[in-house]
Structure formats: structure tokens, C-alpha cells
Amino acid sequence: MNLDDEDLFRDAMGDVTPLKNCANTQWLRVPSAKAAAQTQPDAPPENFLTRGFLEIIPLTTPLEYKADGIQQGVLDKLRLGKYDLDASLNLLRQPVETCRQSLFSFMLEAHKQGLRNLLIIHGKGGNDESHANIVRSYVARWLQQFDDVQTFCMAQPQHGGAGALYVGLRKTDKARLDNRERHAKRSR
């Protein structure tokens, strides 16, 4: 350090006092590789999305799904793009297996973060046998395999139209509790 640096350091540290009782401070050791292997966090769940045989959905058929117990108004608002989007996933021009893995990890992360409204861009393709339509058909099948998915439908043109889906997820338990507390305060 040169003299200017020392002066700056002394000025910055002038009013600092040393800790009196250092015996109460515990310093963590750097974990060894062996200890890290033993305390490995829970492995991510296995990807349960199906592979194999697929019924290709014709391009003329709009993709839409509503779980049991979900009101039609929720699907209508989703279809009109009235919910703010929390996150999006782009699956354009990717192999089917990559799409499968990406969608699975995206949905797990969305659940973990408590997101509600998603946009999944899958592409449309020029004919029923195009790669984009195969991915589109798989995405429609895969989304129904998630318990958290309440609804999905074709997106508005500004978000991709027939080449994208709006996905509505179930509220997390924490979000439900927060909502209950917020509304309970108003009713008092």
C-alpha cells in the first residue's frame, strides 16, 4: 500500500473497535469434498414426462385444457391474456428430448418460485407432420401430466398466437395462506 491508501484505510477504520469476546464466534471450516458428497441436497425428481407414441394434434385444432373444478371464467381470462405473465420458456427449433427436459425443469422451478402464469413458446409449423407441430403435440400432452397445471390455451398474437401457450398454475400453499390473511384483514 502506498501512503494515500494507508491514510484512506485509517480514515475508514478510525471509529472501528475490536470485538471483545471472540470466544463466542464460531468459524465454519471449508467443507471437504468427502463431506459435501455425504450432505448432498435432495436430488431433483426423476423426469416423469412420457416419451414414446404420440397422437399428433392437427394444426387446425386449438390447444386448450381445463382441469376439473376450474371455472370457465379463469380459462377465458387466460385466453384473453388478462393475467400478467411471470415467466416464459422458448422451445423453438429444439429436439424433442431437449424440450422434454427443459419443460420439466422449467415447471419445477416455476412451482418452487410460486409462479402462476407462464408462456411456453413451442412453434407452429407449416403442416401436421412438421417438427414444431410434433413439439406442440408433446407439450400439450406433457402439461396435463403436471398436477400444478390448471389450465392452458393458445396465446394472444403478440405472444406467439398458435405457436405458444398460456399456462395457468395452481396457487402454492404459501400463496393461498397469504391471500387468506390479506382478505381476512379487510373483513375485520
pLDDT in the model for residue 45: 81
Number of domain units in the chain: 1
For the chain, how big is the Rg over CA atoms in Å?
25
Q: How far apart are CA 73 and CA 81, in angstroms?
A: 12
**Has residue 118 been placed in a domain?**
yes
Which of the four pLDDT bands, split at 50, 70 and 90, describes residue 39?
very low
Which of the four pLDDT bands, split at 50, 70 and 90, describes residue 26?
very low
Is the pLDDT at 51 greater than 50? The verdict is yes
What is the extent of the structural domain holding 172? 61-187
**Has residue 83 been placed in a domain?**
yes
**C-alpha triplet 99, 131, 109: angle, nearest 5°:** 15
| Better-scored residue on pLDDT, 151 or 181 | 151
The predicted-structure confidence for 65-100, as pLDDT tens digits, reads as follows 999 999 999 999 999 999 999 999 999 999 999 999
**Percent of the chain scored above 70 by pLDDT?**
82
* CATH number reported for the structural domain that contains residue 162 in this entry: 3.30.1370.110
**Has residue 10 been placed in a domain?**
no
Q: How far apart are CA 116 and CA 118, in angstroms?
A: 7
Q: How far apart are CA 105 and CA 44, in angstroms?
A: 9
**Has residue 40 been placed in a domain?**
no
